[in-house]
């Protein structure tokens, strides 16, 4: 595949300018860059989701017109998106062969043959515990991702685009995915690998292309570049890595959780968080961290347990109870649950506080935008205007808008679930600084993260969970590394 001179304009902004990109047979070509660099736009053009204003795409030396994802698939190009799009009510085989069903001579679906072919694909992708007849609903992200790859292979496509494929995977699942990619490479499959995890670029890719501000700024063999050099090309400057800093925290307890239990998700969890503290919750995927926070915030019901806030017993049955108590929650599912994609930045930012801007049954946009502009400046949110739809902002800037939402609501306790997932290196640093700044100004922060190094760098204390149990606390993260945290989780 070769894309030449790709240019794409959106209202008020040029997303890509004269970008060249090519992919060789049996190659993993990594595509990296900061949020907003143009990676997703280029991917969407290759898949026919967007149409380029200028440029052309050729496959096997022939110029092709890719006007929709169906065209892309017919040209041999398939996408495994970050937000997986399988239909849970259908079987594994039905998802694999959707739109490409195997039929008998009478034109009816040949279920036996289709299940047999699906089973061959599953085994090829190291899946032996799942039958083609099984429903897709309830399968882990790792299994759903592999089923998405099987769907692409079933169509006969040899070019697979992977968008942030390891974001929701454990280390073991990531290793399995990389092993499968290496096997498929030997059979002639090629991969476009989009990721923010630069160590994975070094580990799995053959070449790397770096985008910055919609332009290709560097392309080379992966063996000829370091992580530090990639960061330099991405940011056009050196980016300081976060280091742990000791902070003076008062002894006053803000939140006390006693004996929280919910089915098999988590059992007898107790901890306390002090005022102005940055408190981390670590653990492998499936440890029960998000499930615990959902119960504390009133998104799900606990079986047992009590809460105290500022020394007083409280009962949180629904999220509005938590909001009234001054607790804000930034969910890990930013795109699905955090933003209103088709609404502008200002409305997204002020959504929980809209009532205060109502006058005579109308929103007073002058006051609303004045407040929103204040947070744009304070949090260094990059947007062309307050009227820009939030879906056009980078992941890091979307996250800042959501944090501003709870600052405007005057939340004193902020819960951040995977606050830097899918965010580039420089934006991560900005989020870390923002978290520390909020804590220094008097906010109490709880962070859930799968990135252990992130917690060790930014948190004052860390609780480690595994399989629904509290395995211990790290009272002073300085000097700890991820291996020691993993040992605590598994002991």
Q: What is the pLDDT of residues 13-33, one digit of tens each?
A: 788 999 999 999 999 999 998
Answer whether residue 142 is part of any domain: yes
Q: How far apart are CA 406 and CA 237, in angstroms?
A: 32
Q: What is the pLDDT of residue 74?
A: 92
- The residue among 335 and 320 whose pLDDT is bigger is 320
Same domain as 75, residue 197: yes
Q: How many C-beta atoms lie closer than 10 Å to residue 236's C-beta?
A: 12
Phi (first) and psi of residue 466, to 5 degrees: -155, 125
List pLDDT tens digits, range 182-224: 999 999 999 999 998 889 999 999 999 999 889 999 999 999 9
- H helices of 236-298, in order, are 289-296
List pLDDT tens digits, range 94-118: 999 998 899 988 889 999 999 999 9
Rg (CA), the chain: 24
Q: What is the pLDDT of residue 240?
A: 53
Q: Are strands 207-212 and 28-33 parallel, antiparallel or unpaired?
A: parallel
Q: What is the pLDDT of residue 353?
A: 84
Report the CATH number that the domain containing residue 11 is assigned in CATH.
3.40.50.300
Please, how many CA atoms are within 13 Å of residue 206, restricted to the half-sphere of its CB?
14
Same domain as 89, residue 152: yes
Is the Cβ–Cβ distance between 76 and 59 less than 8 Å? yes
The pairs formed by 482-486 with CB atoms below 8 angstroms and a separation of 24 or more are 482/452, 482/453, 482/456, 485/282, 485/452, 485/455, 485/456, 486/284, 486/452
Q: What is the pLDDT of residue 154?
A: 93
Domain count, the chain: 2
Same domain as 114, residue 218: yes
Answer whether residue 241 is part of any domain: no
Answer whether residue 297 is part of any domain: yes
Q: How far apart are CA 162 and CA 290, in angstroms?
A: 26
Q: Which residues pair with 14 in a beta bridge?
A: 9
Domain extent at residue 342? 253-490
Which pair of structure tokens corresponds to residue 253? 């307890």
Same domain as 227, residue 259: no
Is the Cβ–Cβ distance between 139 and 151 less than 8 Å? no
Is the Cβ–Cβ distance between 236 and 213 less than 8 Å? no
Answer whether residue 415 is part of any domain: yes
Q: ∠ CA 99-100-106 to the nearest 5 degrees?
A: 105
Q: How much is the average pLDDT of 291-309?
A: 96
Q: Does residue 295 carry a pLDDT above 70?
A: yes
Same domain as 478, residue 370: yes
Same domain as 457, residue 352: yes
**Lowest pLDDT segment from 50-64, 229-243, 266-280:** 229-243
Helix (H, G, I), strand (E, B) or coil at 255: strand
Answer whether residue 364 is part of any domain: yes
Answer whether residue 242 is part of any domain: no
Task: Mark which of 235, 261, 290 sits at the end of a domain.
Answer: 235
Which pair of structure tokens corresponds to residue 109? 């679906």
Helix (H, G, I), strand (E, B) or coil at 411: coil
Same domain as 303, residue 157: no
CA 303 to chain centre: 30
List pLDDT tens digits, range 73-92: 999 999 998 777 899 999 99
Q: How far apart are CA 8 and CA 18, in angstroms?
A: 9
Residue 142 exposed, middle or buried by CB count within 10 Å (0-12, 13-18, 19+)? buried
Same domain as 280, residue 197: no
Q: Does residue 486 carry a pLDDT above 90?
A: no
Is the Cβ–Cβ distance between 161 and 79 less than 8 Å? yes
Same domain as 88, residue 60: yes
Nearest to 196 by CA among 158, 221, 172, 162: 162
Task: Mark which of 235, 264, 282 sits at the end of a domain.
Answer: 235
- The residue among 446 and 250 whose pLDDT is bigger is 446
Same domain as 164, residue 93: yes
Q: What is the pLDDT of residue 392?
A: 84
Answer whether residue 310 is part of any domain: yes
Q: 197-232: string of b/e by CB count within 10 Å (b at 16+)?
A: bbebbbebbbbbbbbbebebebbeebeebeeeebbb
Same domain as 227, residue 333: no
Q: Does residue 238 carry a pLDDT above 60?
A: no
Mean pLDDT of the chain: 90
Nearest to 286 by CA among 174, 450, 167, 415: 450
Answer whether residue 86 is part of any domain: yes
Q: How far apart are CA 335 and CA 104, in angstroms?
A: 41
Sequence-separated (6 or more) residues with CB below 8 Å from residue 166: 173, 174, 177, 195, 197, 200
Same domain as 43, residue 152: yes
């Amino acid at each position: 595949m070769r894309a030449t001179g790709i240019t794409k304009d959106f209202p008020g902004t040029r997303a890509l300018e004269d970008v060249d990109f090519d992919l060789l047979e049996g190659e993993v070509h990594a595509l990296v860059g900061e949020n907003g660099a143009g990676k997703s736009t280029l991917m969407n053009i290759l898949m026919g989701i967007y149409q380029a204003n200028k440029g052309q795409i050729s496959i096997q030396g022939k110029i092709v017109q890719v006007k929709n994802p169906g065209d892309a698939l017919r040209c041999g190009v398939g996408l495994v998106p970050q937000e997986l799009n399988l239909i849970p009510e259908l079987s594994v085989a039905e998802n694999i062969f959707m739109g490409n069903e195997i039929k008998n001579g009478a034109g009816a679906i040949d279920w036996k043959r289709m299940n047999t072919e699906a089973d061959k694909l599953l085994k090829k992708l190291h899946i032996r515990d799942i039958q083609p007849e099984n429903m897709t609903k309830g399968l882990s992200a790792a299994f759903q991702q592999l089923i998405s790859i099987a769907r692409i292979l079933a169509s006969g496509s040899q070019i697979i685009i992977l968008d942030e494929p390891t974001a929701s995977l454990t280390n073991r699942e990531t290793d399995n995915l990389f092993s499968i990619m290496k096997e498929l490479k030997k059979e002639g499959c090629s991969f476009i690998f989009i990721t923010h995890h630069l160590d994975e670029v070094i580990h799995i890719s053959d070449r790397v292309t770096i985008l910055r501000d919609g332009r290709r700024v560097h392309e080379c063999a992966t063996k000829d570049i370091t992580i530090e050099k990639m960061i330099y090309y991405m940011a056009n400057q050196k980016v300081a890595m976060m280091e742990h800093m000791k902070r003076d925290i008062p002894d006053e307890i803000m939140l006390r959780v006693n004996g929280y239990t919910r089915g098999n998700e988590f059992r007898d969890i107790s901890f306390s968080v002090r005022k102005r503290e940055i408190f981390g919750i670590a653990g492998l995927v499936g440890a029960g961290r998000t499930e615990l926070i959902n119960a504390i915030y009133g998104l799900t019901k606990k079986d047992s347990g009590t809460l105290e806030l500022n020394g007083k017993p409280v009962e949180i049955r629904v999220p509005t109870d938590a909001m009234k108590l001054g607790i804000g929650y930034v969910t890990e599912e930013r795109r699905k649950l955090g933003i209103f994609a088709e609404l502008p930045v200002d409305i997204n930012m002020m959504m929980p506080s809209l009532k205060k801007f109502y006058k005579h049954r109308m929103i007073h946009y002058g006051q609303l935008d004045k407040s929103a502009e204040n947070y744009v400046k304070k949090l260094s949110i990059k947007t062309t205007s307050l009227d820009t739809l939030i879906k056009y902002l980078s992941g890091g800037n979307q996250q800042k808008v959501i944090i501003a939402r709870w600052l405007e609501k005057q939340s004193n306790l902020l819960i951040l679930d995977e606050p830097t997932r899918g965010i580039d290196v420089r934006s991560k640093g900005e989020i870390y600084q923002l978290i520390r700044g909020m804590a220094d100004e008097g906010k109490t922060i709880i962070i859930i993260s799968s990135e252990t190094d992130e917690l060790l760098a930014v948190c004052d204390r860390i609780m480690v969970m595994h399989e629904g149990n509290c395995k211990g606390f790290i009272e002073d993260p300085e000097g700890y590394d991820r291996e020691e945290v993993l040992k605590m989780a598994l002991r």
